[in-house]
Chains A and B, each alone.
Chain A
Amino acid sequence: MGHGMASTPTPPPTPTPAADADKRASFEREALVHLDSLYRVALRLTGNPAEADDLVQETMLKAYRAWHQFEQGTNAKGWLLTILRHAFINEYRRRTRHPETVDLDAIEPFSVFEELQDDDPQGTFFDRIVDDEVLRAIDALPEQFRETVVLSDVEGLSYEEIARVLEVPVGTVKSRLFRARRMLQAKLYDYAVGMGYIKGSST
């Protein structure tokens, strides 16, 4: 299972100068173009630029070694993200953040839209919130929500692709996305109230 992986392991083709050049060209064209995406995801997973660098480098190395197993024409971005996530789980998560256990029922689906009805129904306060604040809010999410929201809202993967990378059912992707987005809205709303960008109805 997995993105574009052949079901039986194919032995690597015999290296010749022409085959090497072909491999390099196709890897650059189909894999290296996703470097920015891999880095953004790695940074949100590790929370640390130096570890994100190492994780992405390791991912690219593994992907290059396994390149003959990638089915040309299938989704290279999903395939690479799967490799990255496995590397993260196996080698980085132990040393960095711990996977949190999350009580799903404890999360109230707080609707910011309803809170803003009297104050800022168009959500213009978003314009005043800078990149770093949004990234901080994402980083504060429990890992399973963080990775789902990053793959969807930052990297634009479909539910099906996210389900394959995270190895969970599509229904789980949907419910995590719903809760993750609500949690983010609530955090950013609280931040905007704290900064005085909006009044806040409860205070």
Chain B
Amino acid sequence: MNCRECTEHLYEFLDRELTPQVEQEIRQHLADCPPCGEHFDFEKLFLDFLRARCRAHGAPAELKLRILRELFDE
């Protein structure tokens, strides 16, 4: 696998959407190619950062009560 092919699979790899075989080929390329390795590390950091920043908030407690009341007439 060359750098271009590897980069084409960047997000599918990070999103765990590839077959084990292609995933293994990418791991091998990343181990052999530090620039691609750094690029993938950066993108993984970005996705982890997005997730962490956006998952901090959930539904307000009043909303849950409102829904329970409406559904089950509590």
Contact = CB atoms under 8 A, between A and B. Distances in A.
**Interface range on chain A (Cβ under 8 Å from partner):** 35 or more
B11 A177 contact: yes
Interface string A153-166: 11010110000000
B39 to A, nearest CB: 5
Interface in A54-89: 56-57, 60-61, 64
A35 interface: yes
B54 A158 contact: no
A181 B54 contact: no
Nearest to B67: A60
Interface string B9-41: 001100101000000000000000000001100
Secondary structure of the B contact surface, majority rule: helix
A9 B56 CA distance: 38
B15 A185 contact: no
A126 B54 contact: no
A135 B59 CA distance: 16
A135 B53 contact: yes
Contacts of A27: 71
A40 B70 contact: no
Given A129-B53, A153-B54, A53 B46 contact: no
Interface residues of B, number: 29
Nearest to B39: A113
Contacts of B60: 39, 49, 53
Contacts of B38: 121
Given A113-B42, A184-B50, A36 B58 contact: yes
B59 A131 contact: no
A19 B43 CA distance: 49
Interface of B: 11-12, 15, 17, 38-39, 42-43, 45-47, 49-51, 53-60, 63-64, 66-67, 70-72
17 contacts: A32-B67, A36-B59, A57-B63, A60-B71, A64-B71, A122-B45, A123-B46, A126-B46, A126-B49, A134-B53, A134-B54, A138-B54, A152-B15, A154-B54, A158-B15, A159-B17, A181-B11
The 10 A-B residue pairs whose C-beta atoms are closest, nearest first, are A36-B58, A39-B59, A134-B53, A154-B54, A126-B49, A153-B50, A35-B59, A131-B53, A113-B42, A60-B67
